[in-house]
Amino acid sequence: MSSAFFKNNGPYTILEILNCLNIKIENEVSNRKINDIKDLFSSNENDITFFHSKKYKDIANKTKASFCITTDALRNDLPETCTPLIVDNVLFSTSKLTAKFYPDSINDDFDNSVTDIFKTEFADNVKYGKNVLIGKNISIGSNCLIGHNTIIEKNVSIGDNCSIGSNTIIRNSIIKNNVRILDNCVLGKHGFGFFPLKKGNLRYPHIGIVLIEDNCEIGCGSTIDRGSMSNTVIGKNTYLDNQIHIAHNVKIGDNSIIAGQVGIAGSSVIGNNVKIGGQAGISGHLKIGNNVEIAGGSGVIKDIPDNAKVMGYPAKNIRKFLKDNK
Amino acid sequence: MSSAFFKNNGPYTILEILNCLNIKIENEVSNRKINDIKDLFSSNENDITFFHSKKYKDIANKTKASFCITTDALRNDLPETCTPLIVDNVLFSTSKLTAKFYPDSINDDFDNSVTDIFKTEFADNVKYGKNVLIGKNISIGSNCLIGHNTIIEKNVSIGDNCSIGSNTIIRNSIIKNNVRILDNCVLGKHGFGFFPLKKGNLRYPHIGIVLIEDNCEIGCGSTIDRGSMSNTVIGKNTYLDNQIHIAHNVKIGDNSIIAGQVGIAGSSVIGNNVKIGGQAGISGHLKIGNNVEIAGGSGVIKDIPDNAKVMGYPAKNIRKFLKDNK
Amino acid sequence: MSSAFFKNNGPYTILEILNCLNIKIENEVSNRKINDIKDLFSSNENDITFFHSKKYKDIANKTKASFCITTDALRNDLPETCTPLIVDNVLFSTSKLTAKFYPDSINDDFDNSVTDIFKTEFADNVKYGKNVLIGKNISIGSNCLIGHNTIIEKNVSIGDNCSIGSNTIIRNSIIKNNVRILDNCVLGKHGFGFFPLKKGNLRYPHIGIVLIEDNCEIGCGSTIDRGSMSNTVIGKNTYLDNQIHIAHNVKIGDNSIIAGQVGIAGSSVIGNNVKIGGQAGISGHLKIGNNVEIAGGSGVIKDIPDNAKVMGYPAKNIRKFLKDNK
């Protein structure tokens, strides 16, 4: 992906990139310019990509990128047009290089570019409360409401007929039409992603956004983190209750209903028409099918196929769970 | 119930009501006026009521309402004085009609009627922080404190000797004496109740309130939703820790202690002297007796009798749980 | 401990102390002054201490305190230099007396001593947002950021290079260098500790603080309560995700990683290099060793030794849990 909101400080020359990655290659010192860092599928000729797991070998084999951060064990799965840059830890090096391209995507210090809304172009079009602050690169559609003390930090697009509550903070997010975001939420901050290092953890960049589709509702006190290399997405007409946490890169489908205090860990993908009971938790990197029902309090630690009803920790077929726990 | 705070836009004629419900009755077109929509028990002669489940047949049989939204299968349990209005989905139709009587009870857009407290009648009687906002229809007793950035939206009654923290939002609530509500709470917003529809979910009205009795404490970051057709109640001297979610229509008794991150789903009734450990969850529509102890992390999915001690998910006798899980 | 921040209203005479505790001793009415109330180990000759459990008898035997609140059953474990004051409930009486020494430590009413930051000494040294409030007894190091609507109430020390988010409230806390505290947090309020009494619960004093060591990050919407008779501590380079609740007196070691919605109950001690998955809960008064891994959703109800990996509720060896739950 290219980042919707974060400024790309590139292009960089291959020489600069090799320096960033602490790689010394005798024959490959060049002034060739690289525009961006992207995934294997999205990369073009003037991009650099990364390849860290055998399970992506089919995509790796077709990448158009001219350079790829990878390991010695994986280099042979790349096409001849792609020069491998061999490192010890692909994700760590990718993170370092992404940070070089997108330095603003690492930390979420408060946005000091904000202005009181009554001094902005939105003063006449938006119905707003007291002490509302608006950052740079904001668009707001017609017939929108923004409650008291709410901060729309930089890089936010809000559609028509949206109602934002009070004491809420939004940044780096696209919110479509007829969306209701209630009080005390935080949307669009970076995810909980970093490399643990005893001298001080190294945060990895979050160049993705939060995308909330039409007709959604987000309950009070909820947090939705933006994506790292992809986006965090809430599908059309999906409703979230209070105190829900949606981690980075999670994708939730349409018409889903998620009750209070649910947590969904990073990069999990939830289908359409899914119902999740209160306090249920879903581990990271899982795939939950369409029409799935997850009982309240369940802990889901593996993929769930379409139409399944599950309960328990670890979550299993609801009938089996209830029978086993009579 | 009649609503404590929401404006009744009625009366409506039977003709208007039939139109709202998409019912065509040849013989029953009348200009008779209906004042309110109430439950089977509370209704009077000039009210309309609703009857959706056989388990209420004894109350239905005695209702004083002249009209009742119900199904063909249930109509014969109504008295002769009550004309059945037959619909496919009683709750859906009831919701539509309640919304017609109480249109302000559907959505919780931010309250733009608020004023800075120093401009109100409370400026001299209340000790308040910076940036405190006060809506309409508010009463505040003697010796109260309201922290910084807190918003008392419309329809709130606060007793004597109450301390409200900072960054808290309260609406549609009655708070009795000696109550402490800490920082970052949201009290009195509508509950998570709606009819799922693919074209856009239909919220049902929440004409109830939040009622917090004497001597309670509500911890930081907690959310307590107001009731739909009844109230959400926290009994005397009950203490809630941080990050607790209490859903609509829940009733908690006196002298109960609820630890951090507990969630109680809609319409459950909790007794007196109940202790609930951290992160426990209680499903909706349950009855938890007096003097019950629920261990931290438990998931309660059925009624619990007085004096029981339970643990686990699903919660069961604590001795049995600990023995089974050695 | 002596309290870092709370004002000691002593010294009090023994006579005043006996009155406070409702103790009548014929021979022991004196005007001798007592400076402070401390634990058995920290007390000096002019302090009073308390001793409520046989498991502290070895420390009790060596206490330097001249007076000790205790029971008849425990009095013989005290040295001859220490006069026992016999009560029915040691912790209750200790609480009452601590409240007499430290009356400001009971309740956390909003801090009405705060000033707009632009009127303070920090106006030039700190990069701050709109509507930032600063209480008394505050120090802030170089190169710090404080976001919009954030309230630094009284008794807070912030080191160098710290970034505090927006809508956050901090009091009674020491925050070291390079710490990041994100949006909507509440740090340093009193813990959820009180004696249940039907006439109105009796809060016990919280004279401890929150101490956050170098390089930590605290996620959005998290709450960290200050200690009662000791401190709540987050070790160096430990990262907390969103919506986490850390109760009073908890101590977390260095380099630990705690995912979203975790809750840790009062007085538990967590080691270094510990990883805790999302929504896990840890009961109070437990000891979790170094290098422990606790899977998401687990409920920990007993001590865990170094290097263990646990999962489930109650949490047990992860391999055993997964095998038992196939």
DSSP string, B81-130: TSEEEE-S-HHHHHHHHHHHH-GGGS-----TT-EEGGGSTTTTTSEE-T
Judge whether residue C49 has pLDDT over 90: yes
pLDDT tens per residue across span A264-315: 999 999 999 999 999 999 999 999 999 999 999 999 999 999 999 999 999 9
pLDDT tens per residue across span B202-219: 998 999 999 999 999 999
pLDDT tens per residue across span A6-15: 999 999 999 9
Burial of A149 (0-12, 13-18, 19+ CB in 10 A): buried
A260 touches chain B (CB under 8 A): yes
pLDDT tens per residue across span A196-250: 988 889 998 999 999 999 999 999 999 999 999 889 999 999 999 999 999 999 9
Across the interface, whether the CB atoms of A296 and B265 are under 8 A apart is answered yes
Residue of B nearest to A183 (CA): B186
Q: Are residues C95 and C171 in the same domain?
A: no
Q: Which residue, B74, B105, B136, sits at the end of a domain?
A: B105
pLDDT tens per residue across span B3-13: 778 999 999 99
Q: Are residues C67 and C151 in the same domain?
A: no
Report the pLDDT value the prediction gives residue C198, as an integer from 0 to 100: 86
pLDDT tens per residue across span A31-58: 889 999 998 998 999 999 999 999 899 9
Task: Compare A119 and A325 and report the one with higher pLDDT.
Answer: A119
Suggest the residue from A115, A194, A223 to mutate for an interface test with chain C (most C CBs closer than 10 A).
A223
pLDDT cut 70: percent of chain A above it = 98
Give the chains touching A; criterion: ≥3 Cβ pairs < 8 Å.
B, C
pLDDT cut 70: percent of chain C above it = 98
Task: Place B27 in a pLDDT band, splitting at 50, 70 and 90.
Answer: low
The answer as to whether C7 is a domain residue is no
B7 touches chain C (CB under 8 A): no
Which residues in chain C are contacts of A314 at CB distance < 8 A?
322, 325
* Domain of residue C31, residue span: 12-105
DSSP-derived 3-state class of residue B74: coil
Report the pLDDT value the prediction gives residue A29, as an integer from 0 to 100: 62
Say what the alpha-carbon torsion angle B209, B215, B217, B218 is, to the nearest 10 degrees. Answer: 0
B163 touches chain C (CB under 8 A): yes
Report the pLDDT value the prediction gives residue C268, as an integer from 0 to 100: 97
The answer as to whether B3 is a domain residue is no
Report the pLDDT value the prediction gives residue C24, as an integer from 0 to 100: 82
Q: Are residues B144 and B251 in the same domain?
A: yes
Over chain C, what HEC string results? CCCCCCCCCCCEEHHHHHHHCCCCCCCCCCCCEECEECCCCCCCCCEEEECCCHHHHHHHCCCCCCEEEECCCCHHHCCCCCEEEECCCHHHHHHHHHHHHCHHHCCCCCCCCCEEHHHCHHHCCCEECCCCEECCCEEECCCCEECCCCEECCCEEECCCCEECCCCEECCEEECCCCEECCCCEECCCCCCEECCCCCCEECCCCCCEEECCCCEECCCCEECCCCCCCEEECCCCEECCCCEECCCCEECCCCEECCCCEECCCCEECCCCEECCCCEECCCCEECCCCEECCCCEECCCECCCCEEECCCCEEHHHHHHHCC
Report the pLDDT value the prediction gives residue C326, as an integer from 0 to 100: 77
A253 touches chain B (CB under 8 A): no
Residue among C55, C75, C58, C56 at smallest CA distance from C67: C75
CA distance B178 to chain A (A): 25
Q: Are residues C91 and C131 in the same domain?
A: no
Q: Please give the distance of CA B182 from its chain centroid, rounded to a whole number.
A: 21
Strand A156-158, strand A138-140: pairing: parallel
Across the interface, whether the CB atoms of A265 and C296 are under 8 A apart is answered yes
Judge whether residue A1 has pLDDT over 60: no
Q: Are residues C45 and C189 in the same domain?
A: no
Mean pLDDT of B19-25: 88
Report the pLDDT value the prediction gives residue A275, as an integer from 0 to 100: 98
Suggest the residue from C166, C181, C293 to mutate for an interface test with chain A (most A CBs closer than 10 A).
C166
Mean pLDDT of C242-253: 98
pLDDT tens per residue across span C288-314: 999 999 999 999 999 999 999 999 999
Report the pLDDT value the prediction gives residue A229, as an integer from 0 to 100: 84
CA distance C42 to chain A (A): 33
A318 touches chain B (CB under 8 A): no
CA dist C316 and B285 (Å) reads 32
A159 touches chain B (CB under 8 A): no
The predicted complex's ipTM stands at 0.94
Average pLDDT of the residues of chain C: 95
Count CB atoms within 10 A of the CB of residue C7: 12
Give the chains touching B; criterion: ≥3 Cβ pairs < 8 Å.
A, C
Q: Which residue, B78, B105, B132, sits at the end of a domain?
A: B105
Judge whether residue B147 has pLDDT over 70: yes
CA distance B322 to chain C (A): 8
Average pLDDT of the residues of chain A: 95
Q: Are residues C309 and C240 in the same domain?
A: yes
The answer as to whether B186 is a domain residue is yes
Q: Are residues B120 and B99 in the same domain?
A: no
The answer as to whether C110 is a domain residue is no
Task: Place B176 in a pLDDT band, splitting at 50, 70 and 90.
Answer: very high
Residue A248 is a catalytic residue:
yes
C266 touches chain B (CB under 8 A): no
Mean pLDDT of C82-102: 94
The answer as to whether C68 is a domain residue is yes
pTM over 0.90: yes
Q: Are residues C86 and C136 in the same domain?
A: no
CA dist C100 and C256 (Å) reads 38
Report the pLDDT value the prediction gives residue C208, as an integer from 0 to 100: 94
Average pLDDT of the residues of chain B: 95
Task: Place B31 in a pLDDT band, splitting at 50, 70 and 90.
Answer: confident
CA distance B43 to chain A (A): 32
A68 touches chain C (CB under 8 A): no
pLDDT tens per residue across span B80-131: 999 999 999 999 999 999 999 999 999 899 999 999 999 999 999 999 999 9
Suggest the residue from A118, A220, A239 to mutate for an interface test with chain B (most B CBs closer than 10 A).
A220
| Portion 275-314 of A in contact with B at CB < 8 A | 277-279, 295-297, 312-313
- Residue C67: give its domain's CATH number: 3.40.1390.10
CA dist B44 and B41 (Å) reads 9
Q: How many domains does chain A have?
A: 2
Mean pLDDT of C121-131: 97
Report the pLDDT value the prediction gives residue B25, as an integer from 0 to 100: 73
Report the pLDDT value the prediction gives residue C53, as an integer from 0 to 100: 92
Q: Are residues B76 and B119 in the same domain?
A: no
Q: Which residue, B79, B105, B131, sits at the end of a domain?
A: B105
Q: Starting at the edge strand that comes first in sequence, how are the strands of the sheet with C251-252 ordered? A: C138-140, C156-158, C173-175, C210-212, C232-234, C251-252, C269-270, C287-288
Q: Are residues A99 and A120 in the same domain?
A: no
- B86 forms beta bridges with B70
B317 touches chain A (CB under 8 A): no
Report the pLDDT value the prediction gives residue A27, as an integer from 0 to 100: 66
CA dist A257 and B192 (Å) reads 10
Across the interface, whether the CB atoms of C255 and A151 are under 8 A apart is answered no
The answer as to whether C48 is a domain residue is yes
Across the interface, whether the CB atoms of C260 and A265 are under 8 A apart is answered yes
Report the pLDDT value the prediction gives residue B199, as an integer from 0 to 100: 86
- Residue A239: give its domain's CATH number: 2.160.10.10
Q: Which among B108, B112, B223 has CB closest to A242?
A: B223
Q: Are residues C274 and C168 in the same domain?
A: yes
C167 touches chain A (CB under 8 A): yes
The answer as to whether B2 is a domain residue is no
CA distance C163 to chain A (A): 6
Type of residue found at C289: G
Report the pLDDT value the prediction gives residue B2, as an integer from 0 to 100: 63
CA distance C201 to chain A (A): 28
Report the pLDDT value the prediction gives residue C293, as an integer from 0 to 100: 98
pLDDT tens per residue across span C176-222: 999 999 999 999 999 999 999 888 899 989 999 999 999 999 999 99
Provide φ and ψ at B156, rounded to 5°.
-135, 135
Q: Are residues C283 and C228 in the same domain?
A: yes
pLDDT tens per residue across span B268-318: 999 999 999 999 999 999 999 999 999 999 999 999 999 999 999 999 999
Residues of C with a known catalytic role? 248
Which is catalytic among the residues A52, A190, A206, A248?
A: A248
Which residues in chain A are contacts of C166 at CB distance < 8 A?
110, 151, 169
Which residues in chain B are contacts of C210 at CB distance < 8 A?
none
pLDDT tens per residue across span C14-41: 999 999 999 987 666 678 899 999 989 9
The answer as to whether C164 is a domain residue is yes
Type of residue found at C277: G
Quote the Cα angle for A130-A132-A136, to 5°.
160
